[in-house]
């Protein structure tokens, strides 16, 4: 922070967790910094620091230093540049949030390994001295931040969007407006060019109200009789389905479904055009998530990242708050299906915030080694399973109940959201409905469900 010698401020660094709180009184001439624990688990927690400029003048930079007890480390941070020396961690602006206007604030967050809270702090190079007041002062997160303010908590009942509001990526999790980690569960369409009768008012009412689905993934093929044949028509179909999901309070995941060719650069200009249009149409909605490349394959992570670094700014120009999901190497397997792993992403992440990374699996084909990689990657990367099946990678075959349940248990434990392939009546094992269901228009209950559909309905309703 830029020190202001002419202004005397009363500042507090609040360290809050569970029912206890420790306080550090900052020296005069320092801006306010408030540390809060937003989420905690057995071996770590997620925290946020809010830097407030209570002066009458703009400040052009800031610096916060936190020292943790032995055995406690900061694993990763966002909205700040992090440096560490021993048990002390220094946080400086990420670039875009260096300047804080008079009366404004900015926030950054981080994930801590270990249960220890900060034992000391430096703000703008000034040491903090400890006091313990009888009651803590509230801290108010500010924008931009991976989680929104908790001053007005969302409702505890209602549709998924009413309950959770605008989503943010916070650390390795997807969080709601109050900064709580959430796990979205839902279904994916098949190709909307092939199964239009599967996505009617009746079927979407069942998905939202009977299945209690949080999420509706709208899978728009680019090739295979898809977007490239009629860009305006397919964009209109996607927009209409987003509106249908919105009416029912579900999150809408817009899937730019590339598969063959596997190089996303082949469709770069199409992607820019499509996402410019849909993000402009839905920018004011709280329920839209953008999946910019379904299953890249046969290309390096560097090529995928280059594509993402060009497409994401197109979305951000219209919708700065929407979560963006980036496909990963090897048919969105984090590289495993092409002999690699998530380390290449961890070491070279996409150059944007509020981004997650896609993982796809098919339970009968992808088992322990894939689950192990997801477990490892989830410690460093925000993941979303935007597509999975209970059968083989072909989308067909018998349901592997044991492997499917092992996957469900892992994703639930890690709070990783998912969309199942598919909410359709395709003549394949992965379809949720028996063939002929969509033309008949009878979606309610369990009589029209396949084995896969019945399994998914039970898991999502739970």
Do the strands 44-52 and 32-41 form a parallel or antiparallel pair, or are they unpaired? antiparallel
Residue 401: burial class (beta carbons within 10 Å; 0-12, 13-18, 19+) = middle
Which string of b and e fits 44-58 if b means at least 16 CB within 10 Å? bbbbbbbbbbebeee
User: Cα dist. 71→68, 74, 110 in Å?
Assistant: 8, 10, 16
Strand 105-113 relative to strand 73-78, pairing:
antiparallel
CA distance 324 to 335: 19
The CA-based dihedral angle spanning residues 78, 83, 86, 88, taken in that order and rounded to the nearest 10 degrees: -70
- Which secondary structure element, helix H or strand E, spans residue 187, and what is its range? strand 185-188
d(CA 364, CA 407): 11
Known catalytic residues are 295, 387
| Alpha carbons 120 and 113: distance in angstroms, whole number | 17
> Tokens standing for 5?
């010698």
Q: Which of 64, 68, 70, 60 lies closest to 97 in space, CA to CA?
A: 60
List Cβ neighbours of 432 (8 Å cut-off, separation of 6 or more): 187, 420, 422, 423, 424, 425, 449, 450, 452, 453, 456, 457
Residue with tokens 């260096």: 98
Closest CA relative to residue 361, chosen from 301, 291, 410: 410
Q: What is 104-115 written as a DSSP string?
A: -EEEEEEEEESS
Instruction: Report how far residue 171's alpha carbon sits from residue 382's, in angstroms, rounded to the nearest whole number.
Output: 7
Contact between residue 79 and residue 42 where contact means Cβ atoms under 8 Å apart: no
Q: What is the DSSP letter of 118?
A: P
- Cα–Cα distance list, 322 to 46, 115, 269, 374, 377 (Å): 21, 32, 21, 24, 23
């Amino acid at each position: 922070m830029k020190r202001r010698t002419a202004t005397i401020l009363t500042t507090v660094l609040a360290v809050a967790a569970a029912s206890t709180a420790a306080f550090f009184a900052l020296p005069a001439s320092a801006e306010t910094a408030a540390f809060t624990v937003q989420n905690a688990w057995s071996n770590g927690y997620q925290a946020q620091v809010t830097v407030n400029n209570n002066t009458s003048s703009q400040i052009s930079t800031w610096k916060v230093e936190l020292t943790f007890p032995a055995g406690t480390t900061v694993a990763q941070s966002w909205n700040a540049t992090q440096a560490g020396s021993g048990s002390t961690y220094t946080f400086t602006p990420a670039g875009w949030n260096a300047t804080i206007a008079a009366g404004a604030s900015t926030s950054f967050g981080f994930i801590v390994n270990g249960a220890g809270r900060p034992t000391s702090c430096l703000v703008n190079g000034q040491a903090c001295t400890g006091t313990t007041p009888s009651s803590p002062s509230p801290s108010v997160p500010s924008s931009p931040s991976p989680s929104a303010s908790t001053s007005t908590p969302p409702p505890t009942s209602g549709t998924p969007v009413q309950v959770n509001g605008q989503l943010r990526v916070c650390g390795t999790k997807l969080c709601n407006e109050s900064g709580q980690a959430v796990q979205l569960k839902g279904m994916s369409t098949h190709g909307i060019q092939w199964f239009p009768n599967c996505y009617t008012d009746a079927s979407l009412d069942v998905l939202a109200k009977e299945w209690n689905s949080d999420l509706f993934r709208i899978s728009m093929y680019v090739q295979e009789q898809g977007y490239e044949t009629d860009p305006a028509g397919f964009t209109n179909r996607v927009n209409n389905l987003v509106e249908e999901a919105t009416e029912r309070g579900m999150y809408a995941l817009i899937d730019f479904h590339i598969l063959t060719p596997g190089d996303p650069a082949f469709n770069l200009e199409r992607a820019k055009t499509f996402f410019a249009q849909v993000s402009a149409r839905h920018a004011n909605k709280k329920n839209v998530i953008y999946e910019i490349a379904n299953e890249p394959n046969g290309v390096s992570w560097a090529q995928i990242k280059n594509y993402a670094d060009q497409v994401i700014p197109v979305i951000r120009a219209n919708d700065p708050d929407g979560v963006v999901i980036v496909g990963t190497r090897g048919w969105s397997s984090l590289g495993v299906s092409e002999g690699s792993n998530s380390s290449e992403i961890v070491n070279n992440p996409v150059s944007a915030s509020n981004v997650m990374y896609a993982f796809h699996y098919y339970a009968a084909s992808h088992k322990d080694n894939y689950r192990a990689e997801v477990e490892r990657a989830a410690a460093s990367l925000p993941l979303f399973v935007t597509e999975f099946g209970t059968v083989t990678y072909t989308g067909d075959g018998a349901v592997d109940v044991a492997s499917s349940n092992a996957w469900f248990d892992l994703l639930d434990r890690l709070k990783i959201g998912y969309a199942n392939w598919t909410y359709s009546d395709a003549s394949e094992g992965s379809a949720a409905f028996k063939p002929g269901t969509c033309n008949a228009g009878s979606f309610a209950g369990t009589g029209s469900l396949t084995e896969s559909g019945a399994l998914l309905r039970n898991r999502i309703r739970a």
